[in-house]
Chains A and B, each alone.
Chain A
Amino acid sequence: MSNLIEVYKLSKHFPIPSGLFSRKKKYVYALDEISFTLGENETLGLVGESGCGKSTASRTILNLITPTAGEVWFQGQNLFALKPSERRKLRQGIQIVFQDPFGSLNPRLMVKRIVEEPLLTHKIGNRASRKDEVEKALTRVGLLPEHMNRFPHEFSGGQRQRIMLARALILKPKLIIADEPVSALDVSVQAQMLNLLKRLQKEMGLSYIFISHDLGVIRHVSHKVAVMYLGGIVEIANVDDLYKEPLHPYTISLLSSIPVPDPKKKNRKKVILQGDVPSPRNPPTGCRFHTRCPDCMDICTKIKPDSRLIKKDHIVACHLHQGGQVWEPPLPNQEK
């Protein structure tokens, strides 16, 4: 399977404003050399605590934030090396759906205007054809064409999320970045939304980068899952491998400690982490997880672990796992 998107050692360091005369600049290491690839029709789940860089990753891939280093290749082209006009064109293929269904729709615009906005930006079609497209997009996400003459406040949270999805779909993208698309929804509405996302994936051949902090949701939608901690990917694997045999102590603790909707499992062994995520301004030396790791060893405080390919498609960065071989992300756009 050819890769739709390849992310190669992508980093983003935000400078911290310091004194006017101070020489040494400090940085927040929001994103630190993350690499992954995603094929067509596939979903990559990104999990991690807040501040782990999930959202920075999504925005950097979209070039909404300029990366410090690294490359993103989409459909065989390096997004960052293109001229702005060409990049704009290519970017039509990547769209984003945000978390907050209340804050990301302009309350003064009618749904029609909100949904057709991408067409206007990219100067596609005329008035009649755009209206046609809006109708189609709304129908596709399970809304009615007559909804286009209403305002966002007339809709419930779940419906607003559908409007956002319609806006993302109108340019017929190949990849949708969904940043916590269901976290603000109730359980019964969340199920409707997840089913819709999966149905659209089949119908339109979409790929998703699906960001969530809900491990149940991630398991339900993803083909592969990347677990992030303090700006780096600590483990990436196919969904079944990750949930059945997690390797990184962080993943293990996450999976064991989330509340499971089954009272018979409430006495299972749980690895509950203590404390909070350290500040990315001043990340710990060595392995970034060592301050909270239940299996911390001497070496972890000093040396940053390499990513190792332990078995097929299962990569982990932890000193406990020395099997397999050191994994270097493949250079992008190389024919295999």
Chain B
Amino acid sequence: MTLLDVRSLHTFFKTPSGIVKAVDGVSLEARKGEILGIVGESGCGKSVLALSILGLLPMPPAFFDQGQILFNDVDLLKVSNEEMRNIRGDRISMIFQEPMTALNPVYTVGNQLAEVYQVHRNMTKKQALEKSVHMLEKVGIPGPENRLKEYPHQLSGGLRQRVMIAMALACEPQLLIADEPTTALDLNIPAQILDLMSKLRKELGTAIIMITHDLGVIAEITDRVMVMYTGSVMESTSTLELFERPLHPYTKGLLKSIPGTSSSIEDELYEIKGNVPSLLDLPPGCKFNTRCPLAADICIQKRPELREIYPEHFVACWRVDNV
């Protein structure tokens, strides 16, 4: 069942040096109980995409050039700020990358968590705190009653991320957006967090959009995946298919450049030449053509659209043959 349907979203920024096309025609679907992965390097627009869905971008400089964000068939780009505030944190919520900065340092954990219930469920403080204890237990924080009285700086990174997840899940949202939830965490904490997220997905049937640069996380937890590059989707398919039969040269390059998968220390890693181009200075045609080993004339002349090469496997590349 389609819960969120983003259609051809264009999120641009007005800057003194020109218009930055951070999200340049992205469509996606999030389905109930499914985890959709969005993978890409820095500057590919994955975070702006998430913030667009939540309506958290400062406008101006940001503006939506075109597109629709249909959540339960309501276009989120058209609802009022007040309605959006009611949806945000209740039916759609988000986990941010930095558990160090996303919590308010001057309020206790209990205060911040209880606030969610007070705002969205009109509970009294006492009821809200009771619910909070329950929620902290659910995300696996030992001794929740005592933790409620603590301030964020008293918690470790892993615990803070759990508190963030507890806040995000407090109202049992239909859609959870997680932006690099494991990146800032220590060695074995990501495993705990991923484990927790897939458990909660099963229990609550939440749809999750998982944004990350780590293909390991993608393989571990997602069902479908979208590869983004400089604001556009390059490839989109099921996770199994992506790893088994990557089609886009960029995806192939990414997969080959992960260290530690081939066993021999003598092997050179595959390199994608050059750097991600600046969004203000994109090449004409296919945006990947400056770094692509297969680039041909047509790639410089015309931008490729997403085409369905295999069933449910979409690629934006001129050099992939139709099957």
Q: Give me 28 A-to-B residue pairs in the complex whose CB atoms sit less than 8 angstroms apart, sorted by A's number.
A: A47-B187, A49-B186, A50-B186, A186-B41, A187-B215, A188-B257, A188-B272, A189-B275, A191-B270, A192-B271, A195-B271, A213-B187, A216-B216, A219-B259, A219-B260, A220-B265, A223-B265, A240-B263, A259-B182, A259-B191, A261-B215, A261-B243, A261-B261, A262-B219, A265-B219, A274-B192, A275-B142, A276-B158
* Residue from A239, A263, A275 in contact with B265 in the complex, judged by beta carbons closer than 8 Å: A239
Q: Say yes or no: A194 contacts B219, CB within 8 Å.
A: no
B239 at the interface (CB under 8 A from A): yes
Q: Say yes or no: A187 contacts B254, CB within 8 Å.
A: yes
Q: Say yes or no: B269 contacts A191, CB within 8 Å.
A: yes
Name the distance in Å between B229's Cβ and chain A's nearest Cβ. Answer: 10
Number of interface residues of B (CB under 8 A): 45
* Residue from B142, B158, B219, B254 in contact with A260 in the complex, judged by beta carbons closer than 8 Å: B219
Q: Which residues of A contact B (CB under 8 A)?
A: 47-50, 156, 158-159, 186-192, 194-195, 198, 213-223, 239-240, 253-254, 257-266, 270, 272-277
Residue of B nearest to A43 (CB): B265
In whole angstroms, what is the CA distance A253 to B188 when docked?
8
Q: Say yes or no: B260 contacts A272, CB within 8 Å.
A: no
B114 at the interface (CB under 8 A from A): no
Using A186-B276, A188-B272, A276-B158 as known contacts, say yes or no to A254 and B187 having CB atoms under 8 A apart. Answer: yes
* Residue from B186, B188, B260 in contact with A220 in the complex, judged by beta carbons closer than 8 Å: B260
Q: Say yes or no: B214 contacts A262, CB within 8 Å.
A: no
Q: Say yes or no: B42 contacts A186, CB within 8 Å.
A: yes
Q: Say yes or no: B259 contacts A191, CB within 8 Å.
A: yes
Using A186-B41, A188-B253, A263-B243 as known contacts, say yes or no to A195 and B192 having CB atoms under 8 A apart. Answer: no
Q: Say yes or no: B275 contacts A261, CB within 8 Å.
A: no
Per-residue A-contact encoding for B174-186, CB less than 8 Å = 1, 0 else:
0000000010001
Residue of A nearest to B186 (CB): A49
Residue of A nearest to B253 (CB): A188
In whole angstroms, what is the CA distance A194 to B192 when docked?
28
Chain A residue numbers with a CB within 8 Å of B275 are: 156, 158-159, 189
Chain B residue numbers with a CB within 8 Å of A213 are: 186-187
In whole angstroms, what is the CA distance A329 to B260 when docked?
29
Query: For window 69-97 of chain B, which residues contact chain A by CB distance below 8 Å?
Result: none
Name the distance in Å between A229's Cβ and chain B's nearest Cβ. Answer: 10
Chain B residue numbers with a CB within 8 Å of A223 are: 265
Q: Say yes or no: A194 contacts B239, CB within 8 Å.
A: no
Name the distance in Å between A246's Cβ and chain B's nearest Cβ. Answer: 13
Using A216-B258, A220-B260 as known contacts, say yes or no to A188 and B41 having CB atoms under 8 A apart. Answer: yes
Chain B residue numbers with a CB within 8 Å of A195 are: 268-269, 271
Using A194-B269, A220-B259 as known contacts, say yes or no to A261 and B191 having CB atoms under 8 A apart. Answer: no
B156 at the interface (CB under 8 A from A): yes
B169 at the interface (CB under 8 A from A): no
Chain B residue numbers with a CB within 8 Å of A266 are: 219-221
Using A186-B41, A191-B259, A191-B270 as known contacts, say yes or no to A260 and B239 having CB atoms under 8 A apart. Answer: no
Query: For window 211-269 of chain B, which residues contact chain A by CB distance below 8 Å?
Result: 213-221, 239-240, 243, 253-255, 257-261, 263, 265, 268-269
Chain A residue numbers with a CB within 8 Å of B195 are: 270, 272
In whole angstroms, what is the CA distance A312 to B75 when docked?
65
Residue of B nearest to A215 (CB): B260
B159 at the interface (CB under 8 A from A): yes
Q: Say yes or no: A221 contacts B271, CB within 8 Å.
A: no
Chain B residue numbers with a CB within 8 Å of A220 are: 259-260, 265, 269
In whole angstroms, what is the CA distance A266 to B257 when docked?
20
- Select the residue from B194, B215, B269 with max chain A CB neighbours within 10 A: B269
Name the distance in Å between A148's Cβ and chain B's nearest Cβ. Answer: 19
Chain A residue numbers with a CB within 8 Å of B186 are: 49-50, 213, 277
* Residue from B191, B258, B260 in contact with A257 in the complex, judged by beta carbons closer than 8 Å: B191
Q: Which 6 residue pairs across A and B have the least CB separation, nearest first?
A: A216-B260, A259-B216, A257-B191, A220-B259, A191-B257, A219-B260
Chain A residue numbers with a CB within 8 Å of B42 are: 186
* Residue from A48, A156, A187, A272 in contact with B258 in the complex, judged by beta carbons closer than 8 Å: A187
